[in-house]
Amino acid sequence: MSIALLSLIVLGLAALGYLLGRQRALAAAGGDMRRLHSLPSYYGASVFLFTAVPAFLAMVLWLLVQPVVVDRSTAAMITAADVPQGSSHALVMADVRRIAAGLDILVARGMDEDLLATMRADLSDIRGRLGGVGVAVAETVSPNVFEAAKSYRSLANTGRLAMAAAVLALAVGGLLYAAFRITPDLRARNIVESFIRVLLIGASTIAILTTLGIVLSLVFESWHFFRLYPAKDFFFSLTWNPKFGGGSSLGVWPLVWGTLYVSFVALVVAVPLGILAAIYLSEYASPTVRGLAKPALEILAGIPSIVYGLFALITVGPLLRDWLAMPLGLGDSSSSVATAGLVMGIMLIPYVSSLSDDIINAVPQAMRDGSFGLGATPSETVRQVVLPAALPGIVGAILLAASRAIGETMIVVMGAGAAAKLSMNPFEAMTTVTVKIVSQLTGDTEFASPETLVAFALGLTLFVFTLGLNVLALFIVRKYREQYE
Amino acid sequence: MNAMQTPVIDAAALKPRIAASGVQVYYGTNHALKDVSVDILDRTTTAFIGPSGCGKSTFLRCLNRMNDTVASARVEGKILLDGQDIYDKRVDPVQLRARIGMVFQKPNPFPKSIYDNVAYGPRIHGLARTRADLDEIVETSLRRAALWNEVKDRLQAPGTGLSGGQQQRLCIARAVATGPEVLLMDEPCSALDPIATAQVEALIDELRERYSVVIVTHSMQQAARVSQKTAFFHLGNLVEYGDTQQIFTNPQDPRTESYITGRIG
């Protein structure tokens, strides 16, 4: 029984339960809704939830656990002799799973189950048959592997049947339990409320656990990296020169410097422009101008960053080179920190301005009235009353822009180039952590060398930087916030 | 404190500070204030009373051009401050508001320290040459607003941390600190408890010795207690304007009488 069909049946049962619960509640109250504790639909919903939720939970749990159990019991059938030279146990297990899947297809195409049970790897052409249904197996299948595949398949099938039985039993059980305990006094509203509460807690838990999982995987893989490559060199070496044959120097500083430099230039462009635009929009502009200008500015946020990258590569880069870098004698590269920073800054303007505008608008009008009433001009009011009150939010907006800048890849590749360099000259090509993560992981190198694993260490470095930025911003906000309520 | 018992001010002896004639205010197409003419006297408390939406706050906000900050508002007519038309092109509304202070209905201290709240006006207008000057202005203003003794030990504490009554007195101190000639108060006690109200009223009486005070109020008892002149507004019209005692004891217009005795409103 497929998962989809099973889900449909459970949902159907639950819908049935809803109707039954409603009807039973009304019957229990003798048709008079006012005698019920809750509205009839709540009784229906409580039966629905009791039918569907435990059944689906059980299904999800089963689907997570079953492969592990089946894998573990078949893995024992593969002996060391079955593992060919240069391969590993895990690879053979992957073959087992693929053969099992191929056998499933064979059976679905009309092969007899009994025939399959008597089939032996050393007598029949397994490889050819599997190839016939589109499952390619590299070598001839050894008897042990084939037996393991058969047992894998039968275990998986039994497990799936058992799951269907368990899920259906749970659904029916939940339905009966919930439907038969309905009395007019049952607090169905509160039951539904607690289900919703649990649902919400579940949703936030998943979000938090996912974050935690990502961080842990970063830490774990970085740890792998540091076992292969000395941490001292990673943190203190000033050269980034990966060689895929070994003997690379993987110093993080050129990349961190590039990231910070480009982000800094971007923020220098975006923050003043964005905040000033926000102040104009919220404090000075007439409603008509505001109605036109704000959406126009927000369109900037909708442009994909690759388009900005093109803009950097084709227009801004050559422009800066021909009009600034060459005349000043600062270099002749069209990809430069200044190019990427400038274009990225333009991309970030709407982030800063749109958020800041909302925040400035949220400052109560009474603050402005008080300031105007004392004879302050609009700009004095903005500087001394509105901006301090809006500061926490504005710092938040800047921070968001900063993390966008630090994480941006496309504009850097096209605008700043891919050369890892430590230089103060803004007209020189540099690169950032994100670009290098991409270039270390693309290509077909083994996934166990320091040259690829360094990507995780770089990711972790990036994460620590943004985390530090967040903490710093929190600190600034706490210290300088002027609370108006 | 009780105006009903203080001798009636001899109106002829005091010059009018503000002379408004034929003032009309429109909010978009809504004609909010119709042909209002009032003289606000020097060193006098003038009360504007009337039911909600009658235009009294609108008129008050015309006196320091706060209606300029409302995009849809249009003001016609003449308002003279010491003979100078305040809607004249040569008049800077920003300068004007420094001369005509305002206290709002809801206390609105800035989210700054008590000291900075009071020093706000003097700082932007450059009234203090030295730090000591500024300290002195802050202290006098807080004393004048009867708040000094309560806050002198915590001038650096945030103004928003004070109680409602203290906040309103802080706002009065803030308005006083710029040295205005006229003080406009838009229902200054409506968010305050009776004790804080009594403190603010006592303060108004003191301030009257130096400034002319205009107060909008919903409480007729308050108007009777603190003011010498009263103007009654109804549906955008100025119905009656005269000595407080006369308005409350012998109103000329039947509408005034109905309002005062609680039949309309």
Check if B191 contacts A (Cβ < 8 Å): no
Chain B residues close to A287, C-beta within 8 Å: 71
| DSSP line for A49-98 | HHHHHHHHHHHHHHHHHHHHHHHHHHHTT--GGGS-TT--HHHHHHHHHH
B222 in any annotated domain: yes
Task: In whole angstroms, give the CA distance from residue B182 to residue A403.
Answer: 52
B59 in any annotated domain: no
Chain A residues close to B91, C-beta within 8 Å: none
- What is the helix (H) or strand (E) element at residue A19, kind and residue range? helix A3-28
Check if B69 contacts A (Cβ < 8 Å): yes
pLDDT at B13: 61
Check if A288 contacts B (Cβ < 8 Å): no
Chain B residues close to A370, C-beta within 8 Å: 104, 108-110, 171, 174
Maximum Cα interatomic distance, chain B, rounded to a whole number of Å: 57
Kindly give the confidence (pLDDT) of every residue in chain B, 265 residues in length, as a single tens digit, with 9 standing for 90 and above. Answer: 444 444 445 555 678 889 999 999 998 888 989 999 999 998 999 999 998 888 898 999 999 898 887 878 889 999 999 888 998 888 888 889 988 999 998 899 998 899 999 999 999 999 889 999 999 999 999 998 889 999 999 999 999 889 888 999 999 999 999 989 899 999 888 878 888 888 889 889 988 888 899 999 988 889 999 999 999 999 999 999 999 999 999 999 999 988 888 876 5
- pLDDT (tens digit, 9 = 90+) per residue, A180-224? 988 888 898 999 999 999 999 999 999 999 999 999 999 999 998
Residue B201: which CATH number?
A: 3.40.50.300
pLDDT at A98: 83
Say what percent of chain A tops pLDDT 70: 96
Residue A481 — pLDDT band, cuts 50, 70, 90? low
- Of the candidates B106, B112, B121, the beta carbon closest to that of A374 is on B121
Asked if B111 lies within 8 A of A286 by C-beta distance, the reply is no
Chain B residues close to A288, C-beta within 8 Å: none
B19 in any annotated domain: no
Q: Which residue has the tokens 């002198």?
A: B152
Write out the residue range of the structural domain in which residue B203 sits. 45-54+93-229+240-260
- Residue A478 reports pLDDT greater than 80: no
* Nearest residue of chain A to residue B94 (CA atoms): A375
∠ CA(B160), CA(B162), CA(B167), 5° rounding?
80
pLDDT at B122: 93
Written as six digits, the tokens of A189 are 């509203």
pLDDT at A92: 80
pLDDT at B265: 52
In the three-class reduction of DSSP (H, G, I as helix; E, B as strand; rest coil), residue A234 is classed as: helix
Check if A372 contacts B (Cβ < 8 Å): yes
| Contact predicate A434/A408, CB 8 Å | yes
Check if B104 contacts A (Cβ < 8 Å): yes
What is the ipTM for the molecules in this complex?
A: 0.86
Check if B179 contacts A (Cβ < 8 Å): no
Domains and CATH numbers, chain A: 3-186 (no CATH), 236-480 (1.10.3720.10)
pLDDT at A45: 93
B141 in any annotated domain: yes
Number of structural domains (chain B) is 1
Residue A139 — pLDDT band, cuts 50, 70, 90? low
Check if B28 contacts A (Cβ < 8 Å): no
Asked if B160 lies within 8 A of A367 by C-beta distance, the reply is no
- Of the candidates B97, B171, B178, the beta carbon closest to that of A372 is on B97
Check if A388 contacts B (Cβ < 8 Å): yes
Asked if A373 lies within 8 A of B124 by C-beta distance, the reply is no
Task: In whole angstroms, give the CA distance from residue A309 to residue A343.
Answer: 8
Mutate to test the interface with B, among A284, A288, A374 (most CBs of B within 10 A): A374
- pLDDT (tens digit, 9 = 90+) per residue, A92-114? 888 888 888 888 888 887 777 77
Written as six digits, the tokens of A8 are 């449909």
Check if B64 contacts A (Cβ < 8 Å): yes
Q: Which of A250, A258, A213 is nearest to A232 (CA)?
A: A250
Check if A246 contacts B (Cβ < 8 Å): no
* Nearest residue of chain B to residue A284 (CA atoms): B69
Cβ burial B80-108 (10 Å sphere, 16+ → b, else e) = bbeeeebbeeeeebbebbbbbbbbbbbbb
To the nearest whole Å, the CA of B157 is away from the closest chain A CA by 11
Check if A374 contacts B (Cβ < 8 Å): yes
B171 in any annotated domain: yes
Q: Which of A119-123, A449-453, B16-20, B205-209 has the lowest mean pLDDT?
A: A119-123
Asked if B108 lies within 8 A of A483 by C-beta distance, the reply is no
Chain B residues close to A286, C-beta within 8 Å: 71
* Nearest residue of chain B to residue A481 (CA atoms): B111
Task: In whole angstroms, give the CA distance from residue B135 to residue A90.
Answer: 79
Asked if A366 lies within 8 A of B104 by C-beta distance, the reply is yes
To the nearest whole Å, the CA of B112 is away from the closest chain A CA by 6
Chain B residues close to A373, C-beta within 8 Å: 64, 66, 97, 101-104, 175
Q: What is the mean pLDDT of chain A?
A: 87
Chain B residues close to A367, C-beta within 8 Å: 108, 110-111
Residue A485 — pLDDT band, cuts 50, 70, 90? low
Task: In whole angstroms, give the CA distance from residue B44 to residue B16.
Answer: 10
B204 in any annotated domain: yes
- Of the candidates A286, A375, A484, the beta carbon closest to that of B178 is on A375
Cβ neighbours around A207 below 10 Å, total? 10
* Nearest residue of chain A to residue B107 (CA atoms): A366
Residue A483 — pLDDT band, cuts 50, 70, 90? low
Asked if B160 lies within 8 A of A373 by C-beta distance, the reply is no
- Of the candidates B95, B101, B111, the beta carbon closest to that of A373 is on B101
In the three-class reduction of DSSP (H, G, I as helix; E, B as strand; rest coil), residue A227 is classed as: helix
Check if B160 contacts A (Cβ < 8 Å): yes
CB pairs under 8 A between A and B: 79
Chain A residues close to B96, C-beta within 8 Å: 375
Question: What does the pLDDT average to over A239-250?
Answer: 80
∠ CA(A208), CA(A212), CA(A214), 5° rounding?
120
B14 in any annotated domain: no
DSSP β-bridge partners for residue B57: none
Q: Which of B208, A456, A391, A309 is nearest to B200 (CA)?
A: B208
- pLDDT (tens digit, 9 = 90+) per residue, A46-91? 999 999 999 999 999 999 999 888 888 888 777 777 777 777 777 7
- pLDDT (tens digit, 9 = 90+) per residue, A145-169? 888 888 888 888 888 899 999 999 9
- Of the candidates B69, B96, B112, the beta carbon closest to that of A482 is on B112
| DSSP line for chain B | --TTTSPPP-GGGS-EEEEEEEEEEEETTEEEEEEEEEEEETT-EEEEE-STTSSHHHHHHHHTTGGGGSTTEEEEEEEEETTEETTSTTS-HHHHHHHEEEE-SS----SSBHHHHHHHHHHHHT--SSHHHHHHHHHHHHHHTT-HHHHTT-TTSBGGGS-HHHHHHHHHHHHHHT--SEEEEESTTTTS-HHHHHHHHHHHHHHTTTSEEEEE-S-HHHHHHH-SEEEEEETTEEEEEEEHHHHHHS-SSHHHHHHHTTS--
Contacts of A143 (CB under 8 A, 6+ apart): A120, A121, A122
- What is the helix (H) or strand (E) element at residue A438, kind and residue range? helix A433-441
Asked if A377 lies within 8 A of B171 by C-beta distance, the reply is no
To the nearest whole Å, the CA of A280 is away from the closest chain B CA by 15
Cβ neighbours around B203 below 10 Å, total? 22
pLDDT at A396: 83
Cβ neighbours around A195 below 10 Å, total? 16
Asked if B124 lies within 8 A of A375 by C-beta distance, the reply is yes
Asked if B66 lies within 8 A of A389 by C-beta distance, the reply is no
pLDDT at A348: 92
- pLDDT (tens digit, 9 = 90+) per residue, A255-269? 999 999 999 999 999
Check if A118 contacts B (Cβ < 8 Å): no
Asked if A375 lies within 8 A of B111 by C-beta distance, the reply is no
To the nearest whole Å, the CA of B190 is away from the closest chain A CA by 15
Chain B residues close to A482, C-beta within 8 Å: 110-112, 158
B126 in any annotated domain: yes
pLDDT at A329: 84
